[in-house]
Amino acid sequence: MSAPATPLLTVDGLRVASVGGERPLPLLDGVSLTVAPGESVGIVGESGSGKSLAVRAVVGLLPPGTRVTGGDVRIGGTDALALGPAARHALRGRRVTLLMQDPFTMLHPQLTVGRQIADGLRTARPRGRAARAERRAEIVRRLTEVGLEPETADRYPHELSGGMRQRVAAAAALAGDPELLIADEPTTALDAANQRAVLDLLRGLQRGRGMGLVLITHDLRVAFSACDRVYVLYAGRVLEHGASAALESDPRHPYTAGLLASEPSVRERYAALPAVPGFVPAPGERGTGCPFADRCAHVAPECRTTDLTLRPLPGEDRSSACLRLPAIRGDLTAERVPEPTPEVAEETAPEEAPALDVRGADRVFRSAAGDHRALRDVSLSVPRGTVLALVGESGSGKTTLARIAMGLETFDRGEVTVGGLALPAGARPDVADRRALAERAQIVFQDPYASLNPLRTVGATLREALVAASGKQPRARADAAVEKLLAQVGLPAAYARRRPAALSGGERQRVAVARALAARPRLLICDEAVAALDVSVQAQLLNLLTRLQREEGFAVLFITHDLGVVRQIADRVAVMYRGEIVEQGSTARVLDAPAHPWTRRMLDGLPQSAGAGTASGAADA
Amino acid sequence: MTPEAVAPPAPHRRRSRSPLAVVCTAVVALLAVAAVAGQWLLPGWADQDLATGVSMPSAAHWFGTDELGRDIAQMVVAGARSTLLGAALVAVGSMLVGNVLGLIAGYHGGLADLLVRRWADLLLALPALLVTIVVAGIGGGGYALAVGALVVLTSPADIRLVRSAVLEQRHRSYVEAAQTLGLSRTTVMLRHIWPNVLPVVVANTLLNFAGAVVALSSLSFLGLGVPPGAPDWGRMLSENRTLLYDNPSAALVPALLIIVAAVALNLLGDRLFEAFTDRGRS
């Protein structure tokens, strides 16, 4: 790492603040990092860490209402912050380029793929037949570089899958042959099967071209699999920095260690995930000292009073901001007690009234654009008191099935029985059926920001659910019941007076769980209920759900795309692909010995540990 | 489960008030006082002084007098009532119609939605002011008729607005969660959807208010609104425009007030609209 050459990128003490409010709120508080030519560097952090802001400040594309308030950014020796808008614009695409998260919105929907790549090429607009042919050949070469067929050049973005779009976006970003590619969560919006392919592609491109790569991600595994070095950001500060392999096997900051331990593993199940308590403090609520102090198990008084500095560790090419490192070094790696994945029979035993029983369900969505068969002859059963995970890529029909079971969506054919209550085919359930359904099944939705009525307090939301389930009751008794529900999901009773806006994402999901529990359902459907949460908060919620399931004995239909979560929580797994259940069985069997090629592809698509990334740029799309 | 570190509630930050919003609010408040209490505070507005007749602004008559020697300053204050109360009635009436029909159409869908939408389309296809003129003309004019016709003709835009706002909320998870609790459709509609639609509706009502001020003044100007002799800005503008060389303020002051009222209400409505949609986004 001690490259004598000028680094591609040097960021020194960078400060960014939001300037909209009464006083500026610091969002980034002195972030320093370097990227050498031909090196790949990861920036890892949960939401609110400021990782995206840092690179947006580098390329001069900060969102409105934020401003650089200090520090230094040098791109190849040029002071980027001193440049005017035109000069900065000239830097983008040629020296630095940005690859965004969402492959569905970052391409121009009305231009062909070829046109979008051509726009970034350095050569002038072609004149004459020969020049045009040459340009066409160049576009084809660029497409081949990212593993796409030449014909893709004439297609429009909407004709391509998410993974293919991300490849096109990479080709377009690289058209100007930049020295540094910054990729902001490039795999987050992709299905499991595509994640590793895109990471391998980026890694391959970076090595093949000898360019620098900065990869921003919330997922430590992703960073480890594609980067030489990793910076761990938290609440606008760098807490730890070092080589991927060293960080993965031997973290030197409690936060990094906590993140690693919170991550469910697809290979092993644990008695409980050692979740980091609490959540990232909001800007403006970060006191002096270490921003992680409030959540740290090793906190000491001096952590809150001493200014945070990232110190190089003697004799090692890495640094940590933890004051107490010498004292706690041995205790950093949290104990995770492995637990055998439950042994259950391959087939579900026939039962009197299973929590959910679906037989041969079909659902076709008709529209002017054509029919979409969301469910094809789907059969599955969730026995009472068991956890079934339903996995599959986005658009495979998982959510449609959940909505049908909740009476929010109709089905065309087949039988759907919830706790012995048969739902009518082809029609929404009537009021009586919906009441009966409410005490049998409840649902927790994915988006914590949409699942609570923003105008009602937490208490009002929970009281309403209680009254709906067991009728009107005196206020004092309802309040006691609300308090009990909040306690069950690990929230203080005072939260009853809060509105959703004053709650973090994880807390909102807890309230959503409490609302579902108010009806004392026999089946709880979790539709990607932890997918939108940060890893450390996700672990808290998984632990909570596991505990509640054991205590209350309800059955769970857990819809997810995350196989690590499946291993951690499920007794059985059903794999869905394009509206069909392609594989079903015990969690241990499906994850350890998958039978269907699609299941194998999903398992292979997971990012591999450090060094395992291959340089194949032409993996299947 | 480890106990969570409990963060203090995020302080509720008020958006900084712009001077323009303060001015607009003050103007609207002043106009409201004039509309409610103007005729009571200045009972002398109707006193005629035919000997003086029309006169230029003076210390005794700030904006001069009209042909009948009535004080223009007092008349415009008294005239706030017919212009503003009528417009407020139009805005509120249209809001009520829009809310009821928009909620039903947006939440229930199906046939109800189809019928309401066709009805709104039909009304939208009619030129509102022209139809009101025709209706008022056939009905022999009259203030109540003009207000009623404007309510009917302003409501389709409100129906559409409420309907689309309801559609936006209807598929939010919190609405579906309320449905899966087994609550009745009416409860879900009134307790969960409607309060979340309301802010947009309130802001829109202010915009309608501004439009109705102009529309009602136009009708009075054409002689289809208030009866002759009544204090009304539109009527004053119409009757006093012949006095432009004898006392220009007799026509210009009511004209200016129509503009000021409409602009202030519009700006306030716009600002509320932005504030609410902003909040919805964050």
> What Cα–Cα distance (Å) separates residue B207 from each residue in A64, B45, B193?
29, 30, 22
Q: Cβ–Cβ of A451/B177 closer than 8 Å?
A: yes
What is the rounded distance in angstroms from the CA atom of residue A377 to the CA atom of residue A159?
27
**Alpha-carbon distance B23 to nearest alpha carbon in chain A (angstroms):** 22
Q: Which helix (H) or strand (E) holds B152?
A: helix B143-170
Lowest mean pLDDT among A173-177, B143-147, B151-155, B161-165: B143-147
Nearest CA in chain B to A529: B173
On the CB side of A489, how many CA atoms lie within 13 Å of its CA?
A: 25
**Alpha-carbon distance B125 to nearest alpha carbon in chain A (angstroms):** 27
- pTM for this predicted structure: 0.80
Residue numbers in A near B172 (CB within 8 A)? 450-451
What is the rounded distance in angstroms from the CA atom of residue A555 to the CA atom of residue A344?
15
Task: Count, in order, helices (H) and strands (E) of chain A.
Answer: 20, 24
Structural domains in chain B plus CATH codes: 71-281 (1.10.3720.10)
Specify the amino acid at residue A60.
G
**Alpha-carbon distance B2 to nearest alpha carbon in chain A (angstroms):** 7
Tokens encoding A571:
């007794």
Q: What is the pLDDT of residues B47-101, one digit of tens each?
A: 777 777 777 788 777 787 887 778 888 888 888 888 888 899 999 999 999 999 9
Nearest CA in chain A to B7: A281
Q: Cβ–Cβ of B1/A406 closer than 8 Å?
A: no
pLDDT for B275: 76
Tokens encoding A413:
């054919």
Q: How many other CB atoms sit within 10 Å of the CB of residue B92?
A: 15
Tokens encoding A620:
């299947």
Q: Which of B10, B181, B185 sits opposite A468 (nearest CB)?
A: B181
> What Cα–Cα distance (Å) separates residue A311 from each residue in A230, A307, A316, A317, A319?
15, 12, 11, 11, 5
Residue numbers in A near B2 (CB within 8 A)? 275, 277, 540
> What Cα–Cα distance (Å) separates residue A495 from each residue in A423, A460, A492, B181?
36, 11, 6, 21
Strand partners, A96: A92, A180
Q: Cβ–Cβ of B182/A468 closer than 8 Å?
A: yes
Profile chain A (621 residues) by mean pLDDT over runs of 10 residues: 70 89 84 92 89 90 88 89 87 87 82 89 78 90 90 88 87 90 86 81 91 91 91 93 91 91 88 84 82 89 88 88 86 78 78 90 86 91 94 87 93 93 89 90 91 92 92 89 93 91 89 94 93 87 93 94 91 93 93 91 73 36 34
Strand partners, B228: none
Phi, psi of A598 (to 5 degrees): -65, -40
Would you list the DSSP string of A292-334?
Answer: TGGG-TT--HHHHHSPP--EEPTTSS-EE--TTHHHHGGG-S-
Nearest CA in chain A to B172: A450
CB A496 within 8 A of CB A486: yes
Q: What's the whole-number mean pLDDT along residues B194-220?
A: 88
Nearest CA in chain B to A517: B181
Q: Which of B2, B174, B196 sits opposite A451 (nearest CB)?
A: B174
Q: Which of A541, A453, A465 is nearest to A500 (CA)?
A: A453
Q: Which of B5, B181, B192 sits opposite A295 (nearest CB)?
A: B5
What is the rounded distance in angstroms from the CA atom of residue A592 to the CA atom of residue A290?
41
Maximum distance among all alpha carbons in chain B? 91
Q: Cβ–Cβ of A501/B10 closer than 8 Å?
A: yes
Q: Which of B5, B183, B185 sits opposite A277 (nearest CB)?
A: B5
Strands (E), chain B: none
Would you list the DSSP string of A545-562?
Answer: HHHHHHHH--EEEEEES-
CB B47 within 8 A of CB B72: no
CB A563 within 8 A of CB A579: no
**Alpha-carbon distance A506 to nearest alpha carbon in chain B (angstroms):** 11
Phi, psi of A391 (to 5 degrees): -115, 160
Specify the amino acid at residue A427.
A
**Alpha-carbon distance A436 to nearest alpha carbon in chain B (angstroms):** 8
Q: Cβ–Cβ of A490/B10 closer than 8 Å?
A: no
Q: What's the whole-number mean pLDDT along residues B194-210?
A: 89
Which distant-in-sequence residues (6+ apart) come within 8 Å of A51 by Cβ?
A43, A44, A45, A216, A218, A233
Residue numbers in A near B16 (CB within 8 A)? 22
What is the rounded distance in angstroms from the CA atom of residue A335 to the CA atom of residue A112?
52
Residue numbers in A near B199 (CB within 8 A)? none
Q: Cβ–Cβ of A464/B180 closer than 8 Å?
A: no
ipTM field: 0.76
Handedness of CA A530, A536, A541, A542 (dihedral sign): positive
Which distant-in-sequence residues (6+ apart) come within 8 Å of B173 by Cβ?
A445, A446, A447, A450, A451
pLDDT for A94: 84
Tokens encoding B123:
């009304």
